[in-house]
């Protein structure tokens, strides 16, 4: 029986493992292509970690009513536990005159993007926000690599839009070709009909001339 063996230990202590998952989740959400390359065991551990926090953001976006603001703040604070806390020295720095405010860290930026963009994107999707693509084994330690990415990313949407545009243009070309073929066939039929009428008139005239002779 596999009691209390729900997750991979990845050769790390609990603190080190949680810190690594937070860093990977931050990199995945802040990535420009919304994808990162890591090993397969890390990707499999990161998938439920990231999808759980995306579910919190999606739940916050669907709140309505009087207590929606308080509940949304509670969900945002829960999601903040999935990232490293940032701006720890901001309170001390703001009180000093002439000192610049501490820059926003990657964890704070990831939390903001999560609630502002990703929660709305996956509002109608019932789970399955990530995808794992295997890449093969790495030279050196022979570790199996994989790409973990967010689904419905801008790159996929651009490819889908271009595919729809190509299919629409091909459909228009086919319809135009079909119309031109029908026009040519109707023109041919009219030509044949007119040619048959002329021949019948010629035969009638020759028969009348023979009778007069």
Q: Are residue 147 and residue 192 in the same domain, yes or no?
A: no
pLDDT in tens, 12-56: 999 999 999 999 999 999 998 999 999 999 999 999 999 999 999
Report in angstroms the alpha-carbon separations of 53 from 46, 48, 76. Answer: 11, 9, 9
Q: Are residue 117 and residue 207 in the same domain, yes or no?
A: no
pLDDT of residue 158: 86
Q: Are residue 174 and residue 137 in the same domain, yes or no?
A: no
pTM of the model: 0.70
202 found inside a domain: yes
Q: Are residue 145 and residue 179 in the same domain, yes or no?
A: no
pLDDT in tens, 96-123: 666 666 666 888 999 999 999 999 999 9
How far is C-alpha 194 from the geometric centre of its chain's CA atoms? 60
Q: Are residue 134 and residue 55 in the same domain, yes or no?
A: yes
Quick one: pLDDT band at residue 178, thresholds 50, 70, 90? low
Quick one: pLDDT band at residue 202, thresholds 50, 70, 90? low
Q: Are residue 53 and residue 122 in the same domain, yes or no?
A: yes
Is residue 162 over pLDDT 80?
yes
The number of domains in the chain is 2
97 found inside a domain: no
Mean of the per-residue pLDDT values of the chain: 83
Structure tokens at 53: 């926090």
5 found inside a domain: no
Q: Are residue 147 and residue 163 in the same domain, yes or no?
A: no
């Amino acid at each position: 029986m596999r009691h209390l063996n729900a997750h991979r230990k990845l050769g790390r202590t609990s603190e080190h493992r949680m810190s690594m998952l937070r860093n990977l989740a931050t990199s995945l959400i802040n990535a420009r292509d919304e994808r990162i390359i890591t090993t397969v065991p890390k990707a499999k551990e990161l998938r439920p970690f990231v999808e759980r926090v995306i579910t919190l953001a999606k739940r916050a976006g669907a709140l309505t009513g009087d207590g929606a603001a308080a509940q949304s703040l509670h969900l945002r604070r829960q999601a903040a536990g999935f990232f490293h806390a940032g701006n720890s020295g901001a309170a001390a720095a703001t009180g000093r005159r002439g000192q610049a405010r501490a820059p926003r860290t990657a964890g704070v930026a990831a939390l903001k993007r999560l609630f502002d963009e990703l929660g709305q994107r996956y509002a109608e999707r019932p789970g399955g926000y990530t995808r794992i693509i295997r890449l093969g084994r790495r030279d050196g330690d022979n570790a199996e690599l994989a790409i973990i990415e967010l689904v419905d990313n801008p790159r996929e949407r651009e490819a889908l839009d271009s595919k729809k545009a190509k299919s629409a243009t091909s459909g228009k070309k086919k319809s135009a070709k079909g119309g031109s073929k029908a026009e040519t066939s109707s023109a041919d039929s009219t030509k044949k009909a007119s040619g048959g009428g002329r021949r019948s008139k010629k035969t009638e005239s020759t028969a009348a001339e023979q009778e007069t002779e």
